[in-house]
Structure formats: C-alpha cells, structure tokens
Structure 1
C-alpha cells in the first residue's frame, strides 16, 4: 500500500473512498482527468444540495500522493489566497521571505471552493490564471516571488443561489451538471454505503483498499505518460469539428478538449488518442461553452371575428375601442364605421382624444341692412 497519509492515517477519520461513490460516473471521470493534467483548468460542478459534491472532492484528494485537501472560504482575501512577501526581512537581512497562502498549501492537491459563484470575481479570475499556468506569482513594491502551484481546482455551485459570469464560466476546463433525480437502485446503494461508512469508517474504507490502490497507480502512470502522447492531425480535425459545431467562442475549448482526451487515453493505458477518448470528454468540455440556439417563436395567428373578446384584465395593453367624443347625434359615415368595426384604424392609437367643443347659447342679433348708395 501507498504511504499516502490520506489513506493510512488512523488518527483522523478517513475520507469516503472514491471507488465507493455511486451514481456519479461523469463527475468521477471529470475529477480524474483534471487530476492527471491539472492544466486542464479544474472542474466546475453544478448541482443541488446533497449530491455528494464535496464528498467527491475529498475522496479525490485521498488518491493523490500528498493527500492535500484545501477548502477555500468565501471570505478569503487575496493575500490569504496567494500569500504575502515579508518585506521586514528584506530591511533586516536583505532576504525576501514568502508567507505562503492557500495556493501554496494546495500544491499537488485539491483546492475546493463551495459556492464558487458567490466568490468575488477577482479571486476566481486569479485562481483560474494560476491553474492554467501552474505557477503562483506574488508581487509587492517591485519585489516578485513565485512558486509552483499545480492544483486540481474543484468548484461547486447551486444554480438557485446565483449564476457565474460567462467569462469565468468559460475558463473552467470541465463542467458537470449533476441530476437531482436518482433512480431507486442507485439511491439504495448510496444510502447503504453512507450508513456503513458512518457506522465504521475504518472498516468500510478497508473494503476498498485494493481498488483504491489500483486507482492510485493508474493516476501515477497516466501522469507520467501524457507527455509522451502526441496529437495527430486526425485528432486535431475531430476536435476542431466538434468545437465548430458547438459554435464556441475562441479556441480555449479546443485546447481543453485535446488535453482532456490525452488524459483519458493515458488513464486507459494507451499512448495514442483514439475517437473514443475524444467522445468521452467532449460533453464535459462543451456543456458550459456551447452557444444556445434560441428558436424563433412563430407569430400568433390572426384573430377571427368569431373569437370571443379577451378579458380586459388580461388584455390590459390592447388597443381600447374607439370612442366618439362628438356631442352631435349624427351617425358616422359608412366607411369610417366599417374601418372601426374591422379594427384597422390605428393611425391615432396613443394620441390624446380631441377635447369636446362646448356649445354656447348666443343672443339673437338684429340683421344689418345694406346702406343706400
């Protein structure tokens, strides 16, 4: 067995075994891909409460050699995240000392962010920059330090609590949407496994020691193999066609899909990328980047004269019937009456009605006679 402290340390409660998860095949696949190649850019998991998002992330950390699992609180400051430079030491002995932050602690491990959609956009942007480069840079007052930060980033979000900006959404390498509906067979398996783990975590974990160790070895072998797997012209053609069909913006999706397909091939023990590798990762890459094609709704059918009139409370913004403000009892001409009846007289819709002209009684006047010449 490995000396992984997350697997063997008996002083703490062990993590739920990754191999014991039920009903989360897509999530497990995405997490393994991001672990083999952290430069994929992390995994964004969308799902309701109680869908094993944090349990899966902790279980993944237990498979890594260092076993680091770092939880990023929502109230974290930038200095707590990236670290700080001890400038007092520079003044005293001329040496620059680095006070490591959460990124340094999470190196070669898992950095978990619950409700990442509620985290400040600036911190999310900074995190994704570090994950894409694998290097954390700290700069202050003209002094710069950097350290390696190969991190498997796992962010989770509940869509009921807010959305993530599209610019940040695109920067997450892989995306998994967890279904809230679980069939009865999977539900029973999940509940039984959880009850058994809660009753005796150590005994439950020992049941999966062999499978866990095999998965640890697969990850280590895949990490060593990815640098020896080339991207062929056929692979580039297939990836470009899929991304073009999805109408994604930019080429980030192409780069992530190539990396993910390579990681998938390495996990399967192959030194070349085949079509099944691309198909296995395509939806994980495109699900949050695919441009939605909204269908144009057809125009409403013309209203027939035989149809009943709408309720005025419902049709509040429809044109009201034309009113006659004339005080005269004279009937309108036939053409105007027909036009009003057909509802075609819309030329003055929205204009104020003409005010009525009052009729006043005028005293009779005596007629004037023409003067004689």
Structure 2
C-alpha cells in the first residue's frame, strides 16, 4: 500500500493542535480530524477505517482512555493502532497508556521529526501485521480446501472398494448407504450414554461412519457359487462364507501396512470388518468374542447390519415388516447385541426406519 493511501485520524479537542498536526501530516498522508471522542468513534467505525489514530488523552466529556477502550471493544476498530498524544509527560501516564494497549505514547509539545518517524514505523508495522493476517487467512483457507479434497477422495475410494463387494453380491443394493446412515446415527445417539461417552467423540463417530462401508469387503474373496447361492448353505459352505470377516480385515491391514503413518479410520474399518459378526453372548464368529471384548465399532455395526438384512429383500426371502424386525432385535438384546445399544436403537426406532426408507432399494424387476 502506498504511503499516500494511508489514512490517519487525529483526535484532539484543541483546534490549534489539529491544525498543527494536520499541516505536518497532510503532505504525506490522508488526514481526518475529530474534536471529540464521540466524533472520533464515529469516524473510526466508518469505512474506510483509518490506518492509525493519534489520540489526545485529556479531552472534555469522553477522555482518550475511554475512547481507546471503546475502540478496542469494537471488532471493526480493535486492530487500528493508536498513539496517545498528550501533555501528560510522566512515566506513570506513559506506562498506563502502553499497558492499555497503545502502540506508542508521545508527549506535547510535539517534535515534528519524532512524530513523523513514529507514525511511519507504526504504519509499516500495521502493514506487516495485515499482510501476515491475510497470508494466514489464505493459508487456512487453502488447508481447509485441501483437507476437504482429501476427505472427498477418501470417501470416493472407500465407496469404490465397498462397491467391489456389492458387485459380487448385487442384492445388497443400497445396503452400504443405509448401514452407513444407521451407524452414524447410532454413534451420535450413543454419545450421551455414560458407557460410551468417552469413546464416542465427535471425531470417532465421523470416522466410524466413514469406515462402515468396508464392513463386507472380504466378500470379494468368497466364490460366486457360495456368495450368490439362493438357498441355505451347507456346513462346508457356511465355514467358507464365515471367512469373509477375516479376509476383509486382512485386506485392510495390508493396506494399512503400505501407509507411512497410522490412518485412524482404517483401524476402525479393520475392527468392523473382522468383528461385526461377533455376538454379545460369544456365539458369533470369527473369534467367538463376547461382551465388551467385542470392539464398540463392531457392536454398533452388528446391529446396523442385521437390521438392514432383515428389512431387505434377498433371493431366499422377502423383506420383513418393521414391527417384526423390531421384535427380532428386541429378542437379540443381551444375546446377539449389546443391550445398551439395542435400548438406544429401539428408543429411536423411527429414525432408523426413516433412513431405511430414504435409501430404499428400487422394486425388484418382474421376469416372465
């Protein structure tokens, strides 16, 4: 910014002081004057804001200290540098003014070379501060933009991987979107529960929802003859089908090993993929974990996954009505599912039905 564009506001109740200071500064700067504190506040708070204020201390009505306090209280004027100009030349007065936050303190009578030097220095410092602030604002905006782009890339990559499993098992339809919605909503609701409030931070819930689509990624390793079988599995086929949980977590772990640093959502994705078929009573797979030994992320996913499977059409069954599904979930309390998670789910059952309806699969095609 060129010097001629700098605006200085001079505040003094004595006309002769305004004249002297104006004549000294006008050849170099744009000058505005105010004979009272009230007028000074009005000028300072009106665009274009002054770049520097020369403020007399001893004025009738509102003195310089009071004007300064009001300037600092207004966000529009809080950053304008102020130099106190006063006939009070004691060290105590100077220290008081500087302690208030003034950038400088000049005693009358004014020495023109000293005043011009102090004004120039403070304007240069303000320019530097403004530049740094603008740079920081720009950098913060760029960082936020890059983070948003990275998160979008991450989301797209996760969805792409999840759809690999969906392509192999086409009947899942919008299962990914629905279960992600259930998991996110359950995580938000469970944050208020004393058992979970420590774990379910805002960030954890966000990462949990981001990880959820990878829960069945291991199905890409299951042979089509088993994965697409319309009827019940044989005992041998069922044992093969159950391996998808470990295959999924192993795949995610290998991806994790390729990263230079820990990626938190991959840790949750691995937990979910490996343990979302565990049961509260220990009768699940692959490890037969029970109770709190099952990671919380997987316990939440387990309920979301079963709820969606029950309400969805499969080649071997029609979708169940919500009231029947509710009864099945209730019966699974303390057996299949964490009882406190079930209680929260049932208390807000309509919310989860709403998510299911929002991402409802299209009607099945009728074949002749």
Which TM bucket (shorter chain)?
Answer: under 0.3
* Bigger helix fraction: 2
TM-score scaled to structure 1, two decimals? 0.23
- Return the structure number with greater relative CO, CA threshold 8 A, min gap 6: 1
